[in-house]
Structure 1
């Protein structure tokens, strides 16, 4: 009735064997011969000094700028919070609908088994 069908054997020629040559011998290490040298004293080169000019002015925020930064941060937090809450609500609605579908299917299958 159901007999397996085996694929036909390959007719490709067998690959040629790869002949590897023996590895070359490692070179002999050269012995270390320490040499004596006179110590060299170096005088440090003085570093160039950056010119000292007027200091950069500090950033001063006005009350309007602080108010704008606070309003912008508040808006970002509210928008991100709204998006996250809507995603959580969508997940909850999906879970409830799947649960309702499961209950309906279970009741349909139970009724079919009784008849």
Structure 2
């Protein structure tokens, strides 16, 4: 079989070579944290407490909203008379 002939085209050298003026800063690694059973339990208990507080705030907000609607309804009926 006949193979096509390609012209010789050598890769030209790069026009600009990058020479860093300053070395890259060395990244410091974070200190390792050891997780034992007490730490995990403290995180779980803290999560449960925060979830309970969030639920309490939500229930309080809903009950205040319901009380406001009821009071507004009662005052509107009182002014009509």
TM-score if structure 2 supplies the norm length? 0.59
Residues 1-115 of structure 1 aligned to structure 2 (within 5 Å): 44-45=18-19, 58-106=32-80, 108=81
- Cα RMSD of the aligned pairs, angstroms, is 3.1
Superposed displacement of residue 89, structure 1 = 0.5
Superposed displacement of residue 68, structure 1 = 0.1
Q: Which protein is bigger by CA-based radius of gyration?
A: 1
Q: Which has the higher helix share?
A: 2
Alignment gaps of 5+ in structure 1: 1-40, 109-115
Superposed displacement of residue 66, structure 1 = 0.2
Once superposed, which parts of structure 1, at least 4 consecutive aligned residues long, lie more than 2 Å away?
41-51, 55-60
For this pair of structures, how many residues does the alignment match? 65
Alpha-carbon displacement from aligned partner over 1:9-54 (angstroms, at most 9, x marks no partner)? xxxxxxxxxxxxxxxxxxxxxxxxxxxxxxxx66554785989xxx
Work out the CA distance in 2 between the residues paired with 1:90 and 1:50. Answer: 56
TM-score if structure 1 supplies the norm length? 0.44
Alignment gaps of 5+ in structure 2: 1-14
